[in-house]
Chain A
Amino acid sequence: MKKLLIVDDEVGIVEEVSSFFVEEGFDVKTADSGSDGIRMIDSFKPDLLILDIKLPDISGLEVLKHSKTASPGTKVIVVTGYVDQAIIDRAEELGRDAFLQKPFDLMLLYDEVERLAQAD
């Protein structure tokens, strides 16, 4: 069972994504802030991480950086409503595995998750 961590401050999105992937047979955990996310990465060691950039405390980019050093095996899918190219580029530099622009289709997310899960 693949372990999936969702880090997003948007309650609605977290609920939807988590219930969908639970149904799909993933071990899902959620975090609604950057610091929470980091803690979860350290303890949960997820196979997959769905990460929002805009978080209430620290930037999602920081969480990404942490994930890549503390848990290199975790595949990271960055999702953001930002249209700021600099942030998108920075995420790529930091080694995100996939990028989805909000609003995204759930199927598209599922496809990415599946693809990355297979690649393992």
Chain B
Amino acid sequence: MQMLKDSYIWLSIFTSVTTLALALFVYSRARHKVINSLYAFWALTVGLWSLFLALSVFSHEPEMALTWARLLHVCAMILPAVYVHFVLLLIGKFDARRSVVYFLYAAMGVLLVLNFTPWFLSVTYRPQFGFYITQPGLLYPLHMVTFIGSILYVYFELFSSLIKAEGANKKQLQFFFVATLLGYSGGATNYLINYDFLLYPLYPFGNVTILIYVVVIGFAIVVYRLMDIDVIVRKTLVFAGLLAFVFTAFSVATFLLKEVASRYLGFSALWVNVISIFLIVLGYDPIRSFLINLTDKYLFQKKYDYQKLLKDASRGISKIENLRHLFSLVVHFITIRMRVKNAAILTLNREAGFFQMAHQRGYAGSGFQYELSDKAELIRYLSTEKEAAEIQHIQEYIESGNKKSVKGQDPHEYNFQAIKQTMAELDSHCCVPSFLGRELRNILVLGEKKSGDFYTEEDLNVLFTLAQESAIAIENARLYDEAIGKTKELEEINSQLEYAKNLLMKALKETEVANKTLQDTQAQLIHEQKMATLGRLAASVGHEVNNPLTILSMNVSRVLLKLRKNPDLKVNEIMDTFEKMEQNIGRIKAVVNTLTGLLKKSEKGKFEPLSLKLILEETLPLVQFQTYLDNLTGTEVEFEVPSNLPLVRGDLERLQEVFLNLFINAYHAMEGRQHRKIRVNAKADPENPYMIQIFFQDNGKGMTDEIRKKIFNYGYTTKAPGKGSGLGLYMCKYIIELHGGEVSVESRVGEGATFLIKLPAATADDMLQGSHDRRASAG
């Protein structure tokens, strides 16, 4: 029975220490949170209960045993109320069930008082166990009813929540429910002994379930609120193992030394203690490493997987140079290994100022695209905190007032609601930043785990490491891609340049050919123009000479005929014929003289660029001199010649003659009028840019159509006999035509007349020629 007693004690102490450690740990992780405090308090109570249980069993005196028994019942009385409170908080029903909790706390108060009355409990020594056990008193059932009732109530509440729960929450509650069932069933075995009911090994090993239970609940709470359960469990187990080792070493050493050393060697108790400590110091570190390895290997298989995963991933991603493949690999990798429903990579497009989806997997619709502005709150969070954004954390921050507490610093404020929104849009439960240097370059977007589990700290650490490694690989691949792209671009540019060069060469050749053709054409044109001019001249001369010549010839014929009919004909009888002949000979002379004069000038390049305005202005004084004689002064003369009008190509004197004639005709046409006005305006010919139109307008008496048709005829005049020669307008026409121009007239009786003169504009060649001549004459 000594063994039973010892194992009972040791197990109780073990449970107590472990539970206390867990309570402390959970409390230290989030001491401001009610649920953590409550759990810590509850675990502390369980731990103390376990400790008091051990102490009561250990007691050799009934008084001591009674004291420990009462104390352990203090704990047992506190437990139901605190536990119900804790569970209701956990499942979020506290506000609705407030009265139940208050009732239980009140019941707890009453029981605590009753605990110290003689009617509640006493202790009796049980020889078969070898220690004092609790003897229930008259009021003891009150406690048991409260205790068991609370448990049943918790079962009920948990179960009803469990039915409604979904996903990770459901899993959590299932876990919690089973653990509670197990833990309390084990714990309840302690009551059986009080009623002399013992079923080995349920008793004392039933208490082990309490330990498991506490650990499991701790696990649930930290995972539920996202704490690092791996660390907790490992630390708890390693601590428990070490404690067990210390106790064992101490016990074994004590036993051995007591039995062997002191008996045969006479060692004192002091030496025994020194040797024990020595053994502990020697064994502590190797045992600790051994335990850590053991827990890692059997309990934290995942951790091993993670390291393997990281290694695999690193090896894989460092080999891939193609950016697109790399993105797909990383996404594939995290989808498969993290067992997530969907995953994606967002990568920074610096020019555009946003993060865009480089690759995705598992999203509804393969075309799912997302663009996240680099001003988004999520980006600010990831950049500043340099840690993953996990949806449970974010939710927690929202509940605690949008603040993230940082040790020793002012809490950072973020709009966590916006972050949550963004993550929801991305269908993400976890966003892991990937930095290159200090710059946030990529974001690993992970969806919900297929298992429905939450992301643990361990997950986040591994993902963070993976993200940083992939950032480097992505950058390498990006640079490689860019280099290839640049090379291709250069090749492209080169080939384009080559192409452009060829085109240019071709164009150059074509231009040369075109130039040659143009020059030839120009030469041909000039030749043709010369021929045309000649032809026109010939036609003009032919006509102008032929007519007087015909008359002349007829005159001669008639004289000859007359002489034949009458050989005695006197000269004075045919004098008028001779006068006519002289007249026509003079006409031919004038035509020929004008022609030869112009031809000479034309040959010598005397057709020069002339300012029309200048011609007009120099002509006007000559007109006024002539009209003064005819008493025709006081006529308004207006010239409207635009300054940008091209120069006229021609012979100054001859053109002055033309305008002089026009002026004189106009003056005579306006004779006897009150308001006399001559208006000359000029513009470029809209139909032919190489010609200039000159409108010469008077407001004289005008003319009939009859007259108009004949006005340019040789010898035609409307003036009184002796006043007009009929030569003026005829010569005007002749001179203008010799210049390559045209003249016509529009008029109505009483409304004045407008002569339209077209003269060729000076060409660039004329200009050069003109300036050359001026230089030559200046020299």
Contact = CB atoms under 8 A, between A and B. Distances in A.
Interface stretch (A65-73, A99-107, A112-120): A99-107
Nearest to A57: B709
A82 B716 contact: no
Interface in A58-95: 79, 81-84
Contacts of A11: 713-716
Interface stretch (B72-80, B491-499, B536-544, B601-609): B536-544
Nearest to A83: B542
Query: Which of B543, B555, B580, B584 gathers the greatest number of chain A CB atoms within 10 Å?
Result: B543
Contact of B554 (A33, A54, A57, A106): A106
A93 to B, nearest CB: 21
Contacts of A16: 551, 554-555, 558, 580
B552 A103 contact: yes
Interface residues on A, range: 20 to 34
A27 B714 CA distance: 26
A10 B538 contact: no
A17 interface: yes
A56 B557 contact: no
A83 B538 contact: yes
B517 interface: no
Nearest to B544: A81
B710 interface: yes
A13 B551 contact: yes
Nearest to A10: B547
A104 B555 CA distance: 11
A81 B584 contact: no
B557 A102 contact: no
B359 to A, nearest CB: 85
Nearest to A19: B558
Interface residues of B, number: 27
B549 to A, nearest CB: 4
Contacts of B713: 9-11, 32, 56
B538 A104 contact: no
Contact of A13 (B539, B547, B561, B712): B547
A11 B730 CA distance: 13
Interface in A22-62: 32-33, 54, 56-57
B417 interface: no
A54 to B, nearest CB: 6
B550 interface: yes
B539 A102 contact: no
A82 B710 contact: no
B546 interface: yes
A81 B542 contact: yes
B539 A83 contact: yes
A100 B538 CA distance: 19
B557 A82 contact: no
B593 interface: no
Nearest to B726: A11
B542 A12 contact: no
B771 interface: no
B548 interface: yes
A9 B539 contact: no
A13 B545 CA distance: 13
Contact of A81 (B546, B558, B561, B716): B546
Contact of A20 (B542, B549, B558, B580): B558
A52 B713 CA distance: 14
Nearest to B583: A12
B551 to A, nearest CB: 4
Given A10-B547, A11-B714, 5 more contacts: A82-B539, A82-B543, A83-B542, A103-B553, A106-B558
Interface of A: 9-13, 16-17, 20, 32-33, 54, 56-57, 79, 81-84, 102-107
The 6 closest A-B pairs by CB, nearest first: A81-B546, A106-B557, A103-B549, A102-B546, A103-B550, A12-B551
8 contacts: A11-B715, A12-B551, A56-B712, A102-B547, A103-B549, A105-B554, A105-B557, A107-B557
